[in-house]
Amino acid sequence: MLKAHLPALVIIIPMTCAALCVLLRRKDWAFTVALLATWASFAGSCLLLVRVINEGVISYEMGGWPPPFGIELRVDALNVYLLIIVSGIGSVVAPYARNSLLLEYVEDRAYLFYSAYLLCLCGLMGVSITGDAFNLFVFLEISSLSSYVLIALGFDRRALTAAYQYLVMGTIGATFIVIAIGLLYQATGSLNMVDISKRLPEAGYDNTTVIAAFAFLVVGAGLKIALFPLHQWLPNAYTHAPSTVSAFLAATATKVSVYILLRFVFTVFGVRFSFEILPTATPFLILAILAMFLPSIVACFQKNVKRVLAYSSVAQIGYMILGLGLVSVAGLTASIVHLFNHALMKGALFLVLGCIFYRIGSCHIDRMAGIARQMPWTMAAFVGGGLSLIGIPLTAGFISKWYLILAVLEKGWWYLAVLIVTSSLIAIIYLWRVIEAAYFREPPDDLKEVSEAPLNLLVPAWILVLANFYFGIDTSISVGVAEIAAKALMGAG
């Protein structure tokens, strides 16, 4: 009985628990509720993964109304992959929130943080699971609004302006997406994504309404993804947000936006319309290559390590879009695997920075000088995450780059493979600056003796670091599911 309603439960549990947190008010109770809700959501996603692998696509009729009239929750390999990323990172980060909160904002309002956190999780899960285009917009706004709140909770007053900037850019992006959905509805008379994709050929591929919808969608999703050059909101937002929030959003929010782009471009519009009738592949490839290089170079000159990682996130999105622009099963597999692996590596690195911030109250590279002597386990975790970000063999990052290079070589574009490797070398430069400072420089004179970060901060960080190594060796799940998802996306065209 309960099993049949799993697709609805994974989003309803965080949603109701968000309200429960506000009602309970007590910090510890709210924390417990948030922790259990994220774990329940993750457990549900894992069960869904097993079911999707064994039984194929799951379609759930919300409220018993059959699609295309009612809202359908549709779980295929790609959906469940995203569910796992979001709820998995959510469950690792949730226990971490308890301590990293203390330094950063008023304790008696902590329940509001947990509530916003659960709402953000619920929104991101909802976007990943829904089969209805307008429902997707609503969930997107739930996640965006709560993430503006989460970012604004940062320690620094610049968090407020960063949140405001993100609010303006994010709303424009979401409004573009809603225009696109409206135009699609106008052209096809349906809001169900699978139904739209079936009706689009009837509407005609040279229909200007459809072409306009496509343009609005790509730009709108591009804003939410922080696709270069639409990334201006991201570095500030990730830098000034509380550590917990940076880790959670960096690992999940942009991934879900990439999912929106993949879902619409490949499933709804279809490969034939998106890439054969419209010349979309080349602009994507050009933007991807620019994204791989320019933000990486900017990252090399940043003083705040959080900002280094934020720019690096923009660069990593380049790899995902590159795989998308190749328009092949191999390219899409690389993109989708990188969604997962990048969530692991960026989540780990931001959590490590949270540990450092907890102890020294800064993420400035000069303040971190010599920190490795005092916090060896924390910095070792940073090195582990960093190796994965660069793409050293036996780490998750290597798997992504390996599949991306294979996909590029399959097309015969060896020069792109050279560019991928070169851009990874830039990652070595900006990460080495941090490692050099932490391990080889003398600590600043006024730095007090600090000890290792508390265990409930260090353990989540290490879980993600070890996951980076695990998924660098055993790829049967991460790559296996991604391949099924990529084939489904290409086959839909």
Partner 1 sequence: MADFEGLYNYWIVIVLAMAGLYIVIARGNLIKKLVGLNIFQASVFVLYISFSKVSGGTAPILEKGIDVYSNPLPHVLILTAIVVGVATTALGLALVVRIRKEYGTIEEDDIHSQDESM
Q: Which residues bind partner 1 (CB under 8 A)?
A: 134, 137-138, 141, 145, 148-149, 152, 157-158, 160-161, 163-164, 167-168, 171-172, 175, 178-179, 182, 185-186, 191
Contacts 24+ apart (CB under 8 A), 15-23: 15/118, 15/119, 15/122, 17/118, 18/114, 18/115, 18/116, 18/118, 18/119, 18/122, 19/115, 21/111, 21/112, 21/114, 21/115, 21/118, 22/111, 22/112, 22/115
Q: How far is the CB of 58 from partner 1 (least distance, A)?
A: 26
| Gap between the Cα atoms of 352 and 121, Å rounded | 21
Q: How far is the CB of 141 from partner 1 (least distance, A)?
A: 5
Q: How far is the CB of 107 from partner 1 (least distance, A)?
A: 18
Contact 191, 147 (CB under 8 A): no
Q: How far is the CB of 196 from partner 1 (least distance, A)?
A: 14
- Other C-beta atoms lying within 10 Å of the C-beta of residue 131: 28
Phi, psi of 72 (to 5 degrees): -105, 135
DSSP secondary structure, 125-146, as one string: HHHHHB-BHHHHHHHHHHHHHH
In the complex with partner 1, the residue whose CB is nearer, 110 or 336, is: 110
Name residue 341's amino acid: N
In the complex with partner 1, the residue whose CB is nearer, 122 or 343, is: 122
Contact 284, 221 (CB under 8 A): no
DSSP secondary structure, 366-420, as one string: TTTTTHHHH-HHHHHHHHHHHHHHHT-TTSHHHHHHHHHHHHHHHTT-HHHHHHH
In the complex with partner 1, the residue whose CB is nearer, 366 or 436, is: 366
In the complex with partner 1, the residue whose CB is nearer, 91 or 144, is: 144
In the complex with partner 1, the residue whose CB is nearer, 168 or 418, is: 168
Contact 388, 472 (CB under 8 A): yes
In the complex with partner 1, the residue whose CB is nearer, 239 or 243, is: 239
Two tokens, residue 362: 């800064």
Q: How far is the CB of 375 from partner 1 (least distance, A)?
A: 27
In the complex with partner 1, the residue whose CB is nearer, 157 or 448, is: 157
In the complex with partner 1, the residue whose CB is nearer, 221 or 431, is: 221
Give the Å distances, CA to CA, from 253 to 4, 179, 240: 28, 21, 16
Q: How far is the CB of 313 from partner 1 (least distance, A)?
A: 22
Q: How far is the CB of 266 from partner 1 (least distance, A)?
A: 24
